[in-house]
């Protein structure tokens, strides 16, 4: 039975051009980029190419791009690196209540060690207001971290407005752009972003590689010490094979940005319209106006999402209940709860996230199967 994959926010299938780039690097450019002989210079060009691709995508200086194992490491580098670099005795960091665990749990861990952390609330649409973030600023605030687009709802946050206001106040600004980077046009200079995190596997690249954009390296201290690679800001032998794949994924994204996103949006809108029409009481969670085109978070009454996900899995439709990093947890989604949704609505919510390999033919079949499955489960419960 063929599978219909609607969990692209968790991970994406590696593109053929990415696999080819990785394999070519494994075969021909596997040398240590830090070595001093000629073949290593060729391997080093892979890193330069990837930095250029990042700079083209987010409008930054290529020299301000560090490669990491992924956004979780990048996020930790920012939080802990800024705390190490600041000369403020009792620093304060602001974030939101709906951040990815890579930010949320890291800050909770730092708070247990004495860090002062403030969590800005979001509205019922899943969007934080810039004024609510700014209201939390204190004289000792050193960093504000707000995700670009939420990984469960796809809701976009007011990044450009926040960047402008924080820049005026001289406060560092970080955004986790994992979900947004392949769906939204980002200009870190225009948006006054000091740090930006991303992961390759969320945009059809390899797992285990990501990047961190750093506007000014004087504002951060290294988290990993060792051989001094990447300007001594991220030591460790550079994974040029994975970075080669990342470069190919970034270049593909740049070349196909508008067409791919328009097609993904059309599929999402079709699925959303069909499900809302077919299932009484179905409701979309999060803003309909401020969201990336790839994510649909939708609740169905009188069902448990866990049962629906299992039922759909058996029928070849792969969806999730929210963050892949929280799978297996029994409590309702923290994101949906912080949006003020009822427990029943949160427990009945699934996330469908669409990608460039989905088709409208799949959407027709998937909406039919989802509708039948929801009504079946509702019948059992009622």
- Which DSSP category does 342 fall into? -
User: CB of 156 within 8 A of CB of 98?
Assistant: no
- Which DSSP category does 149 fall into? B
Query: How many residues are given for the chain?
Result: 382
Q: Catalytic one among 224, 325, 326, 369? A: 325
End-to-end CA distance of the chain: 31
- Which DSSP category does 200 fall into? G
Q: What is the largest CA-CA distance in the chain?
A: 72
Residue 57 sits at φ, ψ, to 5 deg, of -80, -35
Strands 65-68 and 116-120, bridge-based pairing: unpaired
How far is Cα 309 from Cα 299, in angstroms, rounded to an integer? 12
DSSP assignment string, 256-273: HHHHHHHHHHHHHHHHHH
How far is Cα 127 from Cα 376, in angstroms, rounded to an integer? 33
* Residue 325 annotated in active site: yes
Which residue, among 189, 165, 181, has the nearest Cα to 252 in the 3D structure? 181
Which residue, among 260, 288, 321, 286, has the nearest Cα to 7 in the 3D structure? 321
| 3-state DSSP assignment of residue 368 | helix
| Residue whose pair of structure tokens reads 């870190």 in the numeric block | 188
- Which DSSP category does 15 fall into? P
| Residue whose pair of structure tokens reads 């791919």 in the numeric block | 260
User: CB of 19 within 8 A of CB of 248?
Assistant: no
How far is Cα 297 from Cα 96, in angstroms, rounded to an integer? 19
Two structure tokens written together for 321: 């209940």
Handedness of CA 154, 288, 97, 92 (dihedral sign): positive
Beta bridge partners of 296: 352
Q: Which residues are catalytic?
A: 325
């Amino acid at each position: 039975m063929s599978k219909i994959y609607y969990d692209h926010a968790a991970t994406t299938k590696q593109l053929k051009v990415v696999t080819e780039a990785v394999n070519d690097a494994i075969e021909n450019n596997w040398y240590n980029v830090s070595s001093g002989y000629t073949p290593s210079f060729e391997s080093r060009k892979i890193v330069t190419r990837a930095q250029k691709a990042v700079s083209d995508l987010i409008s930054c200086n290529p020299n301000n791009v560090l490669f990491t194992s992924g956004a979780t490491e990048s996020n930790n580098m920012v939080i802990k690196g800024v705390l190490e670099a600041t000369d403020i005795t009792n620093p304060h960091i602001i974030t939101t209540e709906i951040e990815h665990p890579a930010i949320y749990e890291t800050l909770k861990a730092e708070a247990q060690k004495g860090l002062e952390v403030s969590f800005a609330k979001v509205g019922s649409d899943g969007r934080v207001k810039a004024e609510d973030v700014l209201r939390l600023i204190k004289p000792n605030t050193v960093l504000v971290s707000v995700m670009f687009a939420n990984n469960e709802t796809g809701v976009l946050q007011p990044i450009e407005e926040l960047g402008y206001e924080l820049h005026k106040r001289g406060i560092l600004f970080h955004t986790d752009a994992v979900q947004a980077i392949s769906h939204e046009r980002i200009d870190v200079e225009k948006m006054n972003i000091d740090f930006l995190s991303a992961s390759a596997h969320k945009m059809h690249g390899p797992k285990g590689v990501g990047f961190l954009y750093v506007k000014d390296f004087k504002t951060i201290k290294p988290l990993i010490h060792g051989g001094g690679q990447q300007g001594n800001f991220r030591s460790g032998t550079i994974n040029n094979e994975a970075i080669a794949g990342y470069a190919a994924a970034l270049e593909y994204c740049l070349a196909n940005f508008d067409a791919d996103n328009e097609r993904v949006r059309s599929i999402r809108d079709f699925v959303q319209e069909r499900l809302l029409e077919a299932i009484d009481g179905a409701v979309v969670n999060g803003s309909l106006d401020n969201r990336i085109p790839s994510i649909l978070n939708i609740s169905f009454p009188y069902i448990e999402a866990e049962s629906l996900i299992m039922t759909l899995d058996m029928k070849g439709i792969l969806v999730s209940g929210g963050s892949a990093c929280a799978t297996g947890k029994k409590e309702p989604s923290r994101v949906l709860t912080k949006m003020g949704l009822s427990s029943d609505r949160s427990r009945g919510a699934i996330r469908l996230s669409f990608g460039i390999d989905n088709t409208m033919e799949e959407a027709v079949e998937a909406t039919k199967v989802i509708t039948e499955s929801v009504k079946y489960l509702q019948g059992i419960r009622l």
